[in-house]
A = this chain, B = another copy of it.
């Protein structure tokens, strides 16, 4: 029976990246839909699974993607709301690559390292930052996430990030900082630092992290120049710089791709898997 993946993407153009990785992972029939709204999900998903007997539903899965994570999460909710009786299909959310990126990076950091009791500071409360915070907390870290203040973003029109409310819901200690100085002060006593700000925004100057005596490991999620951490190379694969281990965004790419492909394959092993942050992390821990 052909393996069918229903790609539901919130962007106008369904992601070629997600599409190609799905094809590379062995999907036989890829149905790509762009501009998908939460209202459209039920009809699309039920239309798909009505083509299969309940016993054959592991031959079908749903992929939720697109650049907007918040809307992606609504789509994921609607996919699950479309289930009824024995009709359900495995589903994964990876809007903006948030789950594969965070899970792969944290799995690489946690590999062969005991993170219990380590203090992790995450700069940025977007989807990748908060997912990283949750996973690091699961690994035993004390976690603090901070917002990226207006002077770092270089903007006058600062708005309170939506991520603060999400963090509260997830039980993550998140702090809204007023300016660069307050953000940098949050690094005090930190052992692990993650730069999870917007692409192309430098959030951490070289003199700050090199002068911090407790920081042992830094990872940067930003692959677009200027990088998030000054003095780091996007290709740094746990390179030692200034006495600290450094992980760049591009160095994660190969492993992230393996995790992504493995997740797609998992979707077709059963019909009731939901891969969001935790599920993807479990796969990443096996892969990296």
Known: A12-B40, A40-B12, A50-B17. A29 touches B35 (CB 8 A): no
Identify which of B16, B31, B44, B50 contacts A48 (C-beta below 8 A): B16
A32 at the interface (CB under 8 A from B): yes
This chain's copy number in the assembly: 3
CB-CB under 8 A from A35, the residues of chain B are 12
Whether A2 contacts B16 by the Cβ 8 Å rule is no
**Residue of B whose beta carbon sits closest to that of A253:** B50
In this complex, which of A30, A31, A44 has the most chain B Cβ atoms within 10 angstroms of its Cβ?
A31
Known: A47-B15, A51-B257. A29 touches B33 (CB 8 A): no
A284 at the interface (CB under 8 A from B): no
Considering only residues 184-217 of chain A, those with a C-beta below 8 Å from chain B are none
A36 at the interface (CB under 8 A from B): yes
Whether A47 contacts B17 by the Cβ 8 Å rule is yes
CB-CB under 8 A from A47, the residues of chain B are 15-17
Interface residues on A, range: 20 to 34
A111 at the interface (CB under 8 A from B): no
A24 at the interface (CB under 8 A from B): yes
- Bits for A3-32, please: 1 = Cβ < 8 Å to B, else 0: 010100000110111011101100011111
- Bits for A250-288, please: 1 = Cβ < 8 Å to B, else 0: 000100010000000000000000000000000000000
Whether A23 contacts B6 by the Cβ 8 Å rule is no
CB-CB under 8 A from A30, the residues of chain B are 29
Known: A31-B32, A32-B31. A51 touches B21 (CB 8 A): yes
Whether A13 contacts B40 by the Cβ 8 Å rule is yes
**Residue of B whose beta carbon sits closest to that of A6:** B16
Whether B20 contacts A36 by the Cβ 8 Å rule is no
Closest-CB distance, A261 to chain B (whole angstroms): 10
In this complex, which of A2, A17, A20, A32 has the most chain B Cβ atoms within 10 angstroms of its Cβ?
A20
Identify which of B21, B51, B253 contacts A24 (C-beta below 8 A): B51
Closest-CB distance, A121 to chain B (whole angstroms): 29
Whether B17 contacts A31 by the Cβ 8 Å rule is no
Whether B32 contacts A13 by the Cβ 8 Å rule is no
8 A-B pairs whose Cβ atoms sit less than 8 Å apart in the complex: A2-B24, A4-B23, A13-B33, A13-B36, A15-B47, A20-B31, A23-B28, A51-B257
In the complex, besides A13-B36, A17-B51, 20 extra interface pairs with C-beta distance below 8 angstroms are: A2-B23, A4-B23, A12-B35, A12-B40, A13-B40, A13-B44, A16-B31, A16-B44, A16-B45, A16-B47, A16-B51, A17-B47, A17-B48, A20-B51, A20-B60, A21-B51, A23-B28, A29-B30, A31-B32, A51-B257
